[in-house]
Structure 1
């Protein structure tokens, strides 16, 4: 009898653990003012590094456990983080409200070019847009991304042998965040999300760095200023990931 009781308790505990592991939360994202549902809101579980988006009715479902943090972002609205609770998992769907932001256009300054009519003279007045080489990243189109003149490997070697180097400090002190890179690259929802964004918000949240440090990481990996300014978030992700993989290999042999 005692043996059967222990087996029963083990079965219950195991079932609860499996249920918690496979749990998911449901919800509807709405405009806080109009109460209208918002379609294609980006939702990322920051703990499990998986993503999804709301449907045309604002509804979503995403895998989550208690205390996981969900990040909600939508163009023109303030992004928010929501903690998953026992009540949410137990009682079902929840309404998530996003607040609209006031958008302002940045001032654009136009510089007049005084042309002479002579091609050889006038062409020298045209500002150089890009004088960088291309750097290919595995898994993405072979046309490659623009980078600086020195190789990424040589830059990473410098970071390893110089303890004060920014890359060494960032990669060395944030191993957990950097391990998320692999998960981020494997999740199609997150990749699709990052491919359409240029604001770096999702990257800074997932990697737990601010925008300045994120740009500095890419710069120290020897990518050009032009690349940093024009690349989408997916390209930035793969640039950092490639650099980090080189860093791990070289640091292992240090």
Structure 2
């Protein structure tokens, strides 16, 4: 009887230990064309919203469970999604291959200014520089909304009541995406990865929106074109979150 109890105890202990050891997957990422390891590949678990990157040996480890989807992205290579399987969790490391993209330089046209000596004519050739402004909104702890010019203040006042409505229309039927938005802000590794990116790819994949919709969200929140074009992915993430939180402050009686 004692032997049976001991056996059952060992089985339970083994099961617990096995479960604890298999909440992470490991692997190595290589160049599909030559087998060379790739360092600093961005890896994100789209289900649990946690991220990591490969080390100098191309190796990585990330929290995951069966059927989670991992997103691999690296500059100059085609991004891929990989499903976590029970076999991967059970048997250990896996090799992930990324395929290089063909890079093509876009043609750049430089227009040289041809000055005539007449101020009225020449001044029209000087490109207009957009100055971005941030407006403080009474009652809000933040710096307010950004716009292209002082004249845009009327647009801000008129449209401040719709940004979260737009966000809700985008994510209202996808509450998981709004929860992901909060998780992304809390995960230091995700924030570090986003701070180095400007392509919006990781944001669109995590939030399950198209690039055009992502730009529309920022535009509706009254951020300038200059900000949208130059901000890194982390700044875009914070802008979306700030816009949503500010709107909720002004509309405490509404539930989103």
Give the TM-score range, shorter chain.
Answer: 0.7 to 0.9
Measured against aligned partners, the alpha-carbon deviations of 1:195-226 in whole angstroms (never above 9, x if no partner) come to 11111000000100010111111111111122
How many Å separate the matches in 1 of 2:173 and 2:59?
A: 38
What's the counterpart of residue 139 of structure 1?
Answer: none
Measured against aligned partners, the alpha-carbon deviations of 1:167-205 in whole angstroms (never above 9, x if no partner) come to 441142332112212211122221121111111000000
How many Å separate the matches in 2 of 1:46 and 1:186?
A: 15
Structure 2 unmatched ranges of 5 or more: 137-141
1:158 equivalent to 2:159? Answer: no
How many Å separate the matches in 2 of 1:202 and 1:24?
A: 21
TM value normalised by structure 2: 0.81
Q: Summarize the alignment of residues 20-31 of structure 1 with structure 2, pairs less than 5 Å apart.
A: 23-31=23-31
Q: Summarize the alignment of residues 64-213 of structure 1 with structure 2, pairs less than 5 Å apart.
A: 64-117=64-117, 122-134=122-134, 146-148=146-148, 149-150=152-153, 155-159=159-163, 166-213=166-213
Change in Cα spacing, 1:10 to 1:144, as seen in structure 2 (3 Å) is farther
How many Å separate the matches in 2 of 1:173 and 1:26?
A: 34
How many Å separate the matches in 1 of 2:83 and 2:157?
A: 40
How many Å separate the matches in 1 of 2:135 and 2:105?
A: 33
Aligned to 1:178, the other structure's residue is in SS state helix
Change in Cα spacing, 1:67 to 1:156, as seen in structure 2 (3 Å) is farther
CA drift at 1:134: 2.9
What's the counterpart of residue 241 of structure 1?
Answer: 241
Aligned residues: 241
Measured against aligned partners, the alpha-carbon deviations of 1:93-149 in whole angstroms (never above 9, x if no partner) come to 00000000001122223233222346676444322231321369xxxxx99995343
Do 2:163 and 2:244's aligned partners in 1 also have CA atoms closer than 8 Å?
no
How many Å separate the matches in 2 of 1:9 and 1:153?
A: 67
How many Å separate the matches in 2 of 1:143 and 1:155?
A: 17
Change in Cα spacing, 1:134 to 1:246, as seen in structure 2 (3 Å) is closer
Measured against aligned partners, the alpha-carbon deviations of 1:30-57 in whole angstroms (never above 9, x if no partner) come to 0101011111111111111111111111
Q: Which has the larger radius of gyration?
A: 2
What's the counterpart of residue 221 of structure 2?
Answer: 221
Change in Cα spacing, 1:119 to 1:195, as seen in structure 2 (3 Å) is farther
Structure 1 unmatched ranges of 5 or more: 137-141
Change in Cα spacing, 1:168 to 1:153, as seen in structure 2 (3 Å) is farther
Give RMSD over aligned pairs: 3.2
How many Å separate the matches in 1 of 2:10 and 2:252?
A: 45
How many Å separate the matches in 1 of 2:135 and 2:182?
A: 20
CA drift at 1:253: 1.2
